[in-house]
Structures are given as structure tokens and as C-alpha cells.
Chains A and B, each alone.
Chain A
Amino acid sequence: MCLGVPGKIVEMYEQGGLQMCKVDFGGVVRETCLAYVPEAKVGDYCIVHVGFALNLLSEEDAKETLDLLKQITDIEAELGPNPSPA
């Protein structure tokens, strides 16, 4: 229930007074409510829980995190395996 899946907003429309959209999860498309992300637009990625987008994913933060972790991994490769028994 808390797992929430990231997907891409591919179409937006209004229904019964709520901003709704279609979200594409790598081929599976589900109807999703956008009431909590009024700034959403087609092409944005969001985390969806039980039919609701709870945020928009930040591309900039995602890239920064991956770069940071790649850096850690590269340093590891340079230093070789850890000699401590831990």
C-alpha cells in the first residue's frame, strides 16, 4: 500500500470536478487523480498510491543522487576491496 509506483502522465482531463489523468507505468496505463499536484503537466513523472499522484518526481534531484552514488562506486573501484574484517 505504501509501495507507490512511479509513472509518466500521458493525458490530462477533468472528471466530476476533479483533475484526472492517465499515467503510464512502463506499458500499463491507469487512471489517476491529480487533485494533490495541481502543478502537474503531461510528461511529468509522479508517485501514485491507490489511484492518486502524491508528488511530482524531481529530475534534478534524481540526477544529483545518481551522480553522487556513482561517485561513491567509482571511488570504491579505485581503492579496491575493503581490507577490514567488517
Chain B
Amino acid sequence: MKYVTEYRDATLVRGVVDEIRRVVTRPWVLMEICGGQTHSIVRYGLDQILPPLIELVHGPGCPVCVTPLELIDKALLIASQPDVIFCSYGDMLRVPGSDRDLFSVKAAGGQVRVVYSPLDAVEIARQNPDKQVVFFAIGFETTAPPNVMSVLKARALGLKNYSILVSHVRVPPAMHAILGSPDCRVQGFLLAGHVCTVMGYHEYPSLAEKYRVPMAVTGFEPLDMAQGILYTVRMLEEGRVAVENAYPRSVSFEGNPAAQAAIHQVFEDCDRTWRGIGMIPMSGWRLREEFAAFDAEKRFDVGAIQTKESPLCIAGQILVGMKKPHDCSAFGKECTPEHPLGATMVSSEGACAAYYKYGR
């Protein structure tokens, strides 16, 4: 496959890792923001062939993991209502709420449907005018353009039975929170390649400068990851702070202007609570007042919610790179992908799920 096969070429990857080995003279701690990249690293064994001087810590870029418990509980309450068809990306179904998950709502007779694209949820709403169709609009900057387009399409179709439950988060405020913490160990960042595909990387140079931390925009194939690590380590060794682009075939400085325009037409910035981490100021997006009719939180009165987290789970510390999955006493014991205590064990982007699946 073009744009895939050549970026999995083992000889090339080894060559770039050899170059990293040649360049590195001191220990460095790098964080990959994106959970998709965590899985790439562990799946292709990059963590095992990199020089031991380089430590990779895993960031909070797992949308399923950081969706706040209160919103999961709201989703569960809305999905349980008789006239609702609740649509979601598949990853969300097994995420533990305070006392159950969306799978158990489905098993109890609730209409929970997995959709591939939010436009599928709009189509379900069109075909079921007597039902309320709710889409669980979660994610980072990558899923925002698709999610807002579903609202724009529903409005164009004049649908009165479509709404979205929004839990959108943004990468730069989370990096701000991580770098501003007195316990922060991160010295360099691999920036999430597809977030930057949408948003560009113009938001990052000021962040890099403020905290004196170099960054490289990084893709998802093993060769892309090795290249991103090489660029970041080179800057660290040279004492240089910059934002370099190691994924230029997909990412431009400006990003995708059409996608950004649609996001800003429908969403506005807001404070957002991240599961396991807490509230990060202006780190999320919510629907603008103009689109309030499509806001599931306004359409359904679910009352006050009392949330309850597992006392064993340390997902919050894992999500900010303070701890690794093995540091958790429940890892692989009380907590497995079949019976997860925390969202990091569920998602195809969660660090605990990656460690469990690939035997770390």
C-alpha cells in the first residue's frame, strides 16, 4: 500500500534508530501526546530497539480515556431512555461509567448503535423521525471536523430529532498543563500528526519557547515515529528549541483551513474536565449558542450526577506521564481489557491496553 509499506521498512527504521544512537549522549525523556502513537511504538517494538538513554512516556491523547466520568454517566442515562437511539464510536462502549457501561445498557435493551462516521448517525435520525438520535461526540481536534459536519448536515436537513453529547478536548492546553506542573519530567514532545493535519502547528512554537522544550510533528508509521524521535533528540543534544515537522506529507504549518472554519462555526472554547486529570482551563470545545438545539445536554434533563471512580485505578497519573501501566497494582489482575477499571485499559489508544496487548 502506497504511503504505508515504505514507512514500515525495517531496514530504514533500523537505519534511523542507528542515527539516533549516534546522536544521543545523555538521557532524555520524550512524550508522545497521541495514544495512537503509543500503540504504534509498542506494536512495532520501537521502545525495545531505541537506545536506553531515551525514555518515552505516554501522553493524554486518548479521547476515550479522558472523556469525563460525568459525561459517560450522562450518556448512560440518555441511552437508557426508551425513545432514544444512542450512537457512538465503538471504543466508547466498554468504557466504565460509575456503575456500568454502554454495552450493559445495550444488553438491557437500550438502543445503542456503533457508527463508523457521525454522518451515519445523521442518516439514522433521518430514517427514524419518531426517535431521538443522540451521537456521542468525543475526541480531539481530529474528530471535531466530522462531528461538527454532522450538526451542519442535520441543520441543513431540518432534522429536529438529532443532537450530540459533546466532550471535545484540545491538545495545546493539555500540554500547557503538563509542562506547567512542578513534577514535569518531559524534555521533548512528539506532536500528534493528525491533530496537526487539521490544526497545523502554529500553536506550538510559543509553547516550545515558553517551556524551552523542542517538539517534532510526528506521524504514525514506525519510520515516522523514528524520524520524529531523531528530530527531537537532535534538537535536545544541540540545545536548540524549535518545532520541526517530521510528517510533511500530511501536515502543513497552517493545517486544513476548511476544517478549522467549520469547527469554529459550530464550536467555541470552554473549560473541560479530563478524566483522571481534572479541569484544564479552556481545554475543550462546546456547541455555540446558535447550535443549542443540537445539544443533547440541553435536550435531556439528566439531573445531578454523583460519579464514582475505581479506587485502584491510576489512569490519571499514567495520562500525564507520571507513571507507567506496570506501576498499577491492578494492571493485568483486577483490570484487563475484558474487565477494565479505567478507560486507559479499554481504548485502542489507551496506554494500559497497549502494554497489555503487546506484553510489556
Query: Within 8 Å CB of A11, what residues of B?
Result: none
* Contact of A33 with B1 in the complex, beta carbons under 8 Å: no
Which residues of chain B have C-beta atoms less than 8 A from A38's C-beta?
A: 258
> Are the CB atoms of A86 and B4 closer together than 8 Å?
no
Tell me if B96 is interfacial: C-beta within 8 Å of chain A.
Answer: no
The answer to whether A51 and B194 touch across the interface, beta carbons within 8 angstroms, is no
Q: Is B319 among interface residues, defined by CB-CB distance under 8 A? A: no
How many whole Å from A39's CB to the nearest CB in chain B? 10
Tell which of A26, A52, A64, A66 touches B1, judged by Cβ atoms closer than 8 Å. A26
B24 in contact with A61 (CB, 8 Å): no
- B143 x A45 contact (CB < 8 A): no
**How many Å from the CB of B312 to the closest CB on chain A?**
26
Contact call B256/A69, Cβ cutoff below 8 A: no
Q: Which residues of A contact B146 (CB under 8 A)?
A: 33, 49-52
A69 is contacted by which of B12, B194, B259 (Cβ under 8 Å)?
Answer: B12
A65 touches B4 (CB 8 A): no
Give the residues in chain B near A33, CB-CB below 8 Å: 117, 119, 146, 149
Q: Mark B53-64, 1 if CB is under 8 A from A, else 0.
A: 100000001011
* Shortest Cβ distance from A15 into B: residue: B119
Question: Given A82-B18, A82-B21, A49 and B142 touching (CB < 8 A)?
Answer: yes
User: How many of chain B's residues have a CB under 8 angstroms from any CB in A?
Assistant: 62
Please name all residues of chain B whose beta carbon is closer than 8 Å to the beta carbon of A47 when the two chains form the complex: 194, 197, 250
Query: Does B36 touch A at the CB level, under 8 Å?
Result: yes
A1 touches B64 (CB 8 A): yes
Q: How far is the CB of B285 from chain A (nearest CB, A)?
A: 16
Determine whether the beta carbon of B259 is less than 8 Å from that of A3.
no
B: residues with CB less than 8 A from A are: 1-4, 6, 11-12, 14-16, 18-19, 21-22, 24-25, 34-36, 39, 51, 53, 61, 63-64, 89, 91, 116-120, 139-140, 142-143, 145-146, 149, 153, 156-157, 192, 194-195, 197-198, 220, 223, 227, 230, 246, 248-251, 256, 258-259, 262, 348-349
Chain A positions near chain B (C-beta within 8 angstroms):
1-4, 6, 8, 16-18, 25-26, 30, 33, 35-38, 45, 47, 49-52, 54-55, 57-59, 61-62, 64-66, 69-70, 72-77, 79, 81-82, 84, 86
